[in-house]
Structure 1
């Protein structure tokens, strides 16, 4: 897709960054924040959720639409799941560690912290919270970050609980895992100051860097999510949920501009055609002898075919509005919300087993002429009726232009309809948690990652590339701890950056090695009880069995340190095996024999000791 003139189109965009905090316990209970595998669950329970009215007696439109989809929610619970997560007891006090980290983030974003923060309930009935709401509190406002295209304001900073993790969809509903529910999460909302896809990416990257500077945020897939709000002058505000990566942000904004531009053009054409949406009706009899597998399958299950005439829509339902997505795809997304597999429409028919004769009969039955289109749904009678009505409503919106809505990000940079935009009616006070009076003076301003990189180079003599790798990596707090306890900075940095990367590429689950085990391994190297060449093998042993201590892993790897005499015996054997080469090349044989000597000792001896002894033994024979 070609680049647009974003200024001419009036692009306005903003971000909502959601970042999990790396705290010991959850926001409102003492459960750990460690993720579990679904097969580790030791029990499950089910719930049905329904919307409730706000204090003003209003129902949130997004929650109301969600409730129209009748689904059962199943929750997987673990031996670490608490009653708060199961919604069987009130929440405990706000976690102090999470509040302290959030205040550090407020400082980095130049946010003004509120004098008193009140916990609110945000209505969510998609099953991702057992209670039907998410607890959240406004912590600060009026911050700012800089980008190359100008400043981007920070409208608000919130501290809230993470939702449950979706495991799978079933015929009856959705299965969620409770291991993620309640993990502390900050939500950072920017102002509508972003004017290009590149600026959206840069703003998200800048915020991400500031978050990582705390050393107290979780890392990895799913721990940070970006929502993007996008509109153009003739379009409407659309919130796009769940963008996973920085490149995705740029693609999402660009594709959303294209989608809204196409929808505006379609609306103009529909207005010129005096388009209208007719009344849905059942047309099952027309397909009694159909060759369409989809329709025949529905009818064999006592289903029905419903249709809606789209007057003036001919050729426009099949018009592409995003890469490989059309206006018809939008209608289909709405139909799928009610359980249908999708829709057929006359811009793509005859096809899929539907004949030209059936299309002609369909047009005649609903009063559609050559300038009109028809959409149909085949499903059980109730689903078919609800789905065609949803498709008809979306078609009516197309006449008006771009609808305000919440959309879900696809992996290819396109989006699909999710639900209407939420409103203020979804928020109401949480009466079980007292207000919090945050004190920003109690927290230290974190060192920025760029500053940390420079300090590592200047103070510890690290190579700039290695210093940057450590500073921007997940384990810089562990590096600082190691250096503080006297471990050589280069050894610590190389182990935590290069060695772990190499092991991960070789399939070692290095994330299973805990901080204390890392420090234990480094201590053994520092004390001379483990050669640094054996670090990778010892870490691999711990990754395979995380119950091992560093000492136990050394024993398991067979890498207990050897004395100098043992090193000399092993080196001498290597030199004797290669006596002819030594006699011919002298010290020139050193490089080749060094690798063989290290292999013979299997990482039990330090490379410097082996090198020194090898030079001595070669010198004796040359």
Structure 2
């Protein structure tokens, strides 16, 4: 991606927060397994209503207050693999020692300094994603750094946290959550704002991801790692973009946020030139739309009202684009939706949506809007509509200041939408149910320092003669542990090469998946069984593909039975030699003319007869022997 902006000139500051689930046997504060269940399997359910609590200083976090504006019912699905700790009906147990060891090994890779004592804190979260209304988190290490191509990036924070519940369904007035994910341990890694460009942000995230996977103790798959990006420019404000799951989107996310802040600052300057302002009055204009043909408004009038606000000097700016496909009016709509409405209307886009030109004219007259003024309105239940208009007034006033500090949700196209205000210090307070954990110098020194994946790839090139591309492919694959197990089991067998193992795991399996084969049915034992049969000469390399297909279809099959069902069992070499001799005899003139060059063309009919039954190298060796003998006659 080419740089669209002069990021240094704009004063870009960017940092990452990486959240990575750890692959431990037990959850962080209980002894339940870290197992994600099928959502339809729940054995019990219960519900809660949550509200924010004040901190020890008597302050209530602004983000929690906004999250609690919608009075929602939160329904939780429990399982035989969850317990009373997840239900918040029993105090948490001590911090799991295995998890602590994994997190400390990560801190070592990031050259961080651990704390002497681990104290668990409560972070207020009232969106229902935790049954208790807070997330438990512990500060673990600080003052690390990461080497990148353009210099070091500081790593200031490493925390150990519990994962939130998994959202199953949003029904508007209620949300369904699954408890299986709650309590799975994760590390949160926060960098300093040393990232200088979108490309640098991606490189930094890649480096951290490589270090995490090097431990062999992190979960893989969709949702197990999330990147939050903190961004500001010199005249803008810090914005936290949450939930960037695709690494390839980080560059676009950073670029689009810089673009948003640049455009918001430009809009602010033009609004100030107009002496723009946001009026505090909320007008009830329901009577103006009694005869409307707008389906949206007619539906809303059955249960509510039409309310409007006046924005002096905002005409043409509400409809101005600030990110690709998103306008300032979209920002207003995001704020309005925090009150539960579906969206808003504004005069920069009217007449539209069935609202007529006459209705727009009467609306403008009713609120005393001038030529340069904009009107924003909403149609919904009165309480929601009132809250929505008040939120838009706040956001319009923020537009006069430039860029508001806020937490935003990363969207799949690289844009972002408003989520909630940035949290403050009132969000955190001590957890009194979990005892502190000591980290002595001896204990920290005993924590293993794992081999980096980059180093492992080079070792595979050296030890196994693997091509660089294949080495890198397997070390970043989820099949790395299986590959290492196969190579350890069959290290002395010349027929089981690293190249064959890598191509099977990273080449054959994706091809089978594209063909619709249920490769997820295959377990490690299926692969080790196939390679064992191959090592014994019971099957040929060419049989790997069809045998894997058969085992995926029927996982109870072993490699030997699958080969026999497919007619791919080993064959007596005497029969093979007899067939090769007959092929040479049929093409004797061709063999005399071409000599050893005839071997290649002769491979075709022999392979057609014995494909999957005999390794191609064996066929080639026998052909060479027989052709040499025939030439010497």
Structure 1 unmatched ranges of 5 or more: none
- Contact between 2:252 and 2:414, CA under 8 Å: does it hold in 1? yes
- Return the offset for 1:303: 2.2
Residue aligned with 1:167, SS: strand
- Contact between 1:309 and 1:373, CA under 8 Å: does it hold in 2? yes
Going from structure 1 to structure 2, the CA distance change for 1:36 and 1:573 (only over 3 Å counts) comes to farther
2:558 equivalent to 1:539 = no
Of residues 442, 447, 452 in structure 1, which corresponds to 2:446?
442
- Return the offset for 1:472: 2.5
Aligned equivalents of 2:272 and 2:253: distance in 1?
Answer: 28
- Return the offset for 1:537: 2.8
2:274 equivalent to 1:273 = yes
Of residues 510, 527, 538 in structure 2, which corresponds to 1:518?
527
Going from structure 1 to structure 2, the CA distance change for 1:68 and 1:463 (only over 3 Å counts) comes to same
Which one is further off, 597-606 or 336-345? 597-606
Give CA deviations for 1:335-388 in whole Å, capped at 9, x if unaligned. 122221111101111122111211111111112111211000011222222212
2:476 equivalent to 1:472 = yes
Aligned equivalents of 2:93 and 2:516: distance in 1?
Answer: 40
Aligned equivalents of 2:28 and 2:622: distance in 1?
Answer: 57
Going from structure 1 to structure 2, the CA distance change for 1:164 and 1:592 (only over 3 Å counts) comes to farther
- Return the offset for 1:547: 5.0
Determine the structure 2 residue equivalent to 1:502.
511
Residue aligned with 2:348, SS: coil
Q: How does 1:555-594 map to 2 (within 5 A)?
A: 559-565=568-574, 567-568=576-577, 590-594=599-603
Residue aligned with 1:106, SS: helix
- Return the offset for 1:174: 2.2
Going from structure 1 to structure 2, the CA distance change for 1:619 and 1:58 (only over 3 Å counts) comes to same
Determine the structure 2 residue equivalent to 1:463.
467
Aligned equivalents of 1:305 and 1:139: distance in 2?
Answer: 52
- Contact between 1:462 and 1:489, CA under 8 Å: does it hold in 2? no
Structure 2 unmatched ranges of 5 or more: none
Give CA deviations for 1:225-269 in whole Å, capped at 9, x if unaligned. 110111111111110001122331111111111111121222222
Give CA deviations for 1:439-461 in whole Å, capped at 9, x if unaligned. 22222222222221221111221
Which one is further off, 123-132 or 366-375? 123-132
Q: How does 1:7-86 map to 2 (within 5 A)?
A: 7-86=8-87
2:605 equivalent to 1:605 = no
Of residues 458, 468, 479 in structure 2, which corresponds to 1:454?
458
Which one is further off, 561-570 or 171-180? 561-570
2:488 equivalent to 1:484 = yes
Give CA deviations for 1:498-552 in whole Å, capped at 9, x if unaligned. 3333333333343443334333332222232332222233333343344555555
- Return the offset for 1:141: 0.3
2:367 equivalent to 1:363 = no
Give CA deviations for 1:98-147 in whole Å, capped at 9, x if unaligned. 22221221111101111221222221121222222222211100000122
- Contact between 1:213 and 1:446, CA under 8 Å: does it hold in 2? yes
Residue aligned with 1:313, SS: coil
Aligned residues: 621
Give CA deviations for 1:373-424 in whole Å, capped at 9, x if unaligned. 1000011222222212222221121122211110000111110000011122
Determine the structure 2 residue equivalent to 1:124.
125
Determine the structure 2 residue equivalent to 1:322.
323
Aligned equivalents of 2:17 and 2:454: distance in 1?
Answer: 24
- Return the offset for 1:617: 6.2
Residue aligned with 1:400, SS: coil
- Contact between 2:69 and 2:338, CA under 8 Å: does it hold in 1? no
Give the TM-score of the pair, scaled to structure 2: 0.91
Q: How does 1:343-362 map to 2 (within 5 A)?
A: 343-362=344-363
Going from structure 1 to structure 2, the CA distance change for 1:113 and 1:335 (only over 3 Å counts) comes to same
Q: How does 1:71-220 map to 2 (within 5 A)?
A: 71-220=72-221
- Return the offset for 1:329: 0.4
Which one is further off, 157-166 or 341-350? 157-166
Residue aligned with 1:85, SS: helix
Residue aligned with 1:455, SS: helix
Aligned equivalents of 1:198 and 1:84: distance in 2?
Answer: 42
Q: Please report the RMSD computed on the Cα atoms of aligned residues, expressed in angstroms.
A: 2.7
Going from structure 1 to structure 2, the CA distance change for 1:135 and 1:602 (only over 3 Å counts) comes to farther
Give CA deviations for 1:44-103 in whole Å, capped at 9, x if unaligned. 433322222222222111111111112222333344333333333333333333222212
Aligned equivalents of 1:83 and 1:557: distance in 2?
Answer: 51
